[in-house]
Structure 1
Amino acid sequence: MDFSKKIINWYKNNHRKLPWRENKNPYYILVSEFMLQQTKVSQAIKYYSNFIKKFPNLEKLAQAEEKEVLKEWEGLGYYKRAINLHSFAKKLREKPIGFFPKKYQELIKYKGIGPYTGAAIASICFDEVVPAIDGNFYRVFSRYLGIYNNIISVFTKKILRTFILKMMDKKNPGIFNQAIMDLGATLCTPKRVKCLLCPIKIYCFSFKNGTVYELPVKNIIKKSIRNRFFYYVFICNNSKKFCINKRLNKDIWKGLYEFPLIESEKNLPLFEIRDKIWKKYKIFSDNIIYKVKNKINNQILSIQFLNCKIMKPIQIKKNLNKFFFISHEKICEYPFPSPITLFFKNEKMI
């Protein structure tokens, strides 16, 4: 009781002023929580306001085309989040007007809503007593309770969840969850902690024993880095329109648009790139006009853009039947991966 009271009192005076906290509108919280998955708050804020202006409610979001939703998400990354959010809106359109799942167990049935997101929405918007456990929670409570078990393990997570449920404020679960989030984000940080400002320091195991930087214990098996080499074929026809296609495979950037692509697991010399482009698309490639590197999780993408010449229009139609041509003016209507957006800027197309 004392723990939750101190945490909530601290939050009331020190909470971060975030745009989605202005009211308990579940749609606003939903959008923010999707954006905050694997993304810093500062980055999410930049996108949140524009997204809400474009799609002010679930109905507007459900009515939009996937292309429009991804365009608003462009640059934020992890585009599957946007696709799942859009899917959620469309599924709710099949329900009675005004319906929104209120319980944690109902929320996590939808794709893209995991335990943390479901708990955050259920507690903040509908006062369900369920902890929204994320990295901040694990860090705060492992330090506070002095838990040296590996927090990645299922066993440790169960122990922490049991303790947190006992310590939660039953009347204000949403505020409690947000208080722990803010405490972990501003004071009980991974580095440069601000223990002297913490409202619960006198009870904290790590503060009393000088073990703040020893916890949490997090034994992660590092994934090996995968190198991928992308060779984009930039084709511009006589009408000054260029060739693009939508990525549909289950891979990075699904749903976004790109140029014809040659991919390799190794770096290729120019003559081999040209040969592969000719074999796949029957197009003669000229010089490399732009290079960029992009890191996504455990992948490093080395990307090159090649200027290509159209020899015969009939060949283009035959070998690029899944592609289509758009004008420079239409660029703003399609969502592209950040390397292609950088290419456009470099070529002064946008």
Structure 2
Amino acid sequence: MNFSRKIINWYRKNHRKLPWRRTKNPYHILVSEFMLQQTKVSNTIKYYLNFIQKFPTLEKLSQAEEKNVLKEWEGLGYYSRARYLHSFSKKLEGNDNLFPKTYKELIKHKGIGPYTGAAIASICFNEVIPAIDGNAYRVFSRYLGIKYDITSFITKNLFKTIVLKMIDWKTPGIFNQAIMDIGAIFCTPKNAKCLLCPIKNSCFSIKNNSVYKFPVKRIEKYTIKHRFFYYVFIHDQNNNFCIVKRSKDIWKGLYEFPLIESRKNLTIDEINNKLRKLFRLVVSNIVLTYKMKHKITRQILYIKFLNCKCLQFKNLISPSDIFFISHNEIKKYPFPKPIILFLKHEKII
């Protein structure tokens, strides 16, 4: 039995029962693929179900405010994915009939890379195209003994050529999903379950006792950026608190407290002066209430939360830059994880 028949037969009987596999609705598959970028399957399921319930169609998503879309994404991270997804729905004017049906059309849209485009094209529209992600590179490099650096552009094209010859032309979507599952269940980076793998009898790495030598990948050198955040949790006379919409950098589009970023420790007076200058806020009794270290991709954030009371709030350039909300309104706004942790610590949510 050839490779593709073997893995497809295995998949039909043993595939992971995931909610997005109950449909071929391209919009639903698109949502799942966006969520699965940089995120484990186990962490994605709840978010996917809630998102589809809230925005069941492309039209519903296109009609939503960005704030509400990001709120459904809250806690999942990599928020640019949600913004790209929302932008995609608006470009198509919420019309499912305009949904791109080929790989080449799909990858024209921001957020849809080669893997996501190939996955949607093959699963939803039966296009014969390999969907090659980290799992697939690992499976094929081990199975075939490919010793070339998988970060190389030449190697990536080589993989596409090789896998295109192996893919099942009748059911390319099932073939791609079978590779995903084999990589996730058996051919894992560590503690691979080789003896249970459906293609173990013809695997190069098993025969040559070299499973963990693949895939070959150049070690990427990068520096970790250290940033120091001072979030100021400000109450007004009515116990409402102040939030700002983040317009750039990490967490763009989410909401946070007035933020002062610094390269050094600041005194209370320095914080107060910056609040006056940046936000035109005058506050009193600044107290450190919570601190944490938060890691994101290639960055470490050292965050301190300071509690205080607002004495003056005026002369802002735009009312939308900074505003006060009541405790009852807090659930309407999407916040980054550190803010959520602080709000839980303060028993506000």
2:187 aligns with 188
Structure 1 partner of 2:243: 244
1:279: Cα distance to partner?
4.4
Query: 2-side partners of 1:94 and 1:26: how far apart?
Result: 13
- Aligned positions of 1:1-350 closer than 5 A: 2-93=2-93, 98-249=97-248, 251-270=249-268, 272-280=270-278, 281-284=280-283, 286-311=286-311, 313=312, 316-318=313-315, 321=318, 322-350=321-349
CA drift at 1:220:
2.6
**Cα distance in structure 1, aligned partners of 2:265 and 2:215:** 40
Mapped partners of 1:190, 1:150: distance in 2: 16
Indicate how the Cα distance of structure 1 residues 330 and 282 shifts in structure 2: closer, same or farther if over 3 A, else same. Answer: closer
Contact 1:125/1:174 (8 A) holds in 2: yes
Question: Is the CA contact 2:62–2:94 (under 8 Å) kept in the aligned structure 1?
Answer: no
TM-score by length of 2: 0.95
Relative to the length of structure 1, the TM-score reads 0.95
Q: In structure 2, do the counterparts of structure 1 residues 308 and 318 end up closer, same or farther at CA, with 3 Å as the change threshold?
A: farther
Instruction: State the shift of 1:235 in Å.
Output: 1.1
For residues 133 and 324 of structure 1, the distance between their equivalents in structure 2, rounded to whole angstroms, comes to 46
Preserved CA contact (<8 Å) 1:187 1:194: yes
C-alpha RMSD of matched pairs (Å)? 1.6
Whether the 8 Å CA contact 1:36–1:44 is kept in 2: the answer is yes
Distance 1:23-1:279 versus aligned 2 partners, 3 A rule = closer
* Matched residue SS, 1:216: coil
Aligned amino acid, residue 154 of structure 1 = F
1:32 is paired with a residue of what secondary structure? Answer: helix
Question: 2:74, 2:163 → 1: CA distance?
Answer: 37
For the residue of structure 1 that corresponds to 2:50, the secondary structure is: helix
| Secondary structure, aligned partner of 2:163 | helix
Residues 138 and 214, structure 2, Cα contact 8 Å, conserved in 1: yes
Equivalent-residue separation in structure 2 for 1:236 and 1:145 (angstroms): 62
Q: CA deviation at 1:35?
A: 0.2
Q: Separation in 2 of the partners of 1:108 and 1:220? A: 28
Go from structure 1 to structure 2 and tell me whether the alpha carbon gap of 1:211 and 1:269 turns closer, same or farther (over 3 Å shift). farther
CA drift of 1:91 comes to 1.1
How far the C-alpha of 1:274 sits from its partner, in A, is 4.2
How far apart are the structure 2 equivalents of 1:269 and 1:148?
55
Change in 2 beyond 3 A, CA 1:65/1:282:
closer
In 2, distance between residues paired with 1:210 and 1:164? 23
CA distance in 2, matches of 1:31, 1:94: 14
Aligned-partner Cα distance in 2 for 1:282–1:235: 9
Distance 1:192 1:223, change over 3 A: same
Q: CA deviation at 1:92?
A: 1.1
Distance 2:289 2:86 in 1: 36
Structure 1: 5+ residue stretches without partners: none
Q: Which amino acid aligns with 1:58?
A: L
Preserved CA contact (<8 Å) 2:254 2:334:
yes
Is the partner of 2:314 in helix, strand or coil?
Answer: helix
Q: Residues 281 and 310 of structure 2 are in contact (CA less than 8 Å); yes or no, is this contact kept in structure 1? A: no
Distance in 2, Cα, partners of 1:336 & 1:309: 21
Residue 102 of structure 1 aligns to a residue whose secondary structure is coil
Further displaced range: 177-186 or 289-298: 289-298
* 8 A contact 2:281–2:314 mirrored in 1: no
Checking the alignment, whether the CA contact within 8 Å between 1:51 and 1:72 is kept in structure 2 is yes
| d(CA) in 1 for partners of 2:264, 2:5 | 58
State the identity %.
67
Q: What is the alpha-carbon distance in structure 1 between the residues aligned to residue 79 and residue 35 of structure 2?
A: 10
**Structure 1 residues 1-51: Cα deviation after superposition (integer angstroms, max 9, x where no partner):** 701000101111111000000021111101000000100000011211111
